[in-house]
Amino acid sequence: MPSLPKLILASGSPRRAEILTSVGWAFTKDSPDIDETEFAGELPEDYVRRLAREKAEAVAQKYAGALVLGADTTVVIDHQIIGKPVDLADAKRMLKMLSGNWHEVLTGVALVRVPGLKSQVPSPKTVVGLQRTRVKFAEMSAEEIEFLAENGEPLDKAGAYAVQAQAALFIESIEGDYWNVVGLPVNLVYRLIQDRFSDG
């Protein structure tokens, strides 16, 4: 039987929770409050890995012995991080950038276990991974961009779209892990746990 140890999900994302639920993974949620400001000159890959680790570490301090999962997803086009839009006008600006173009979805994932009081392990155990997926949007008209911004609830989504919702009408191709685009590369999480935490 595959081992699916109970997780503490260091995220408030309903999509990440839905993915874990859909595969039958037991978890509880505890959303951290961390500063998500980019560092000057920070590469997108380093940014998502750092935030995933910081989220997991912040929550792990409260749950000695538990396995904590942190994740951070961002959209990258032309080496530029496209985060969550601040308002609908910003969402439309992002969708116009994505229209007709390929972009990358990057997710950093971090698994952290802080030893319990009776643990023989002297220090915390942390594993960080990265998943990369390429996505191609069709050319969208101004009316289609307006539709997607108004109906796709873009304000809490990196890149202002949800692949599993209205944006599916305009996505021509996906290269890589679909679940990464939704918000959590659950296969990567499973493999990291099997490789690094299967000893309990």
Give the SS3 label for residue 128.
strand
> How far is the C-alpha of 44 from the C-alpha of 82, rounded, in Å?
10
Whether 133 contacts 104, CB under 8 Å? yes
- Written as one string, the DSSP assignment of 70-86 is EEEEEEEETTEEE---S
Question: Exposed/middle/buried for 73, CB within 10 Å: 0-12, 13-18, 19+?
Answer: buried
The catalytically annotated residue of 35, 46, 72, 156 is 72
**Is residue 72 annotated as part of the catalytic site, yes or no?**
yes
What pairs with residue 70 in β-bridges?
10, 110
Residues involved in catalysis: 72
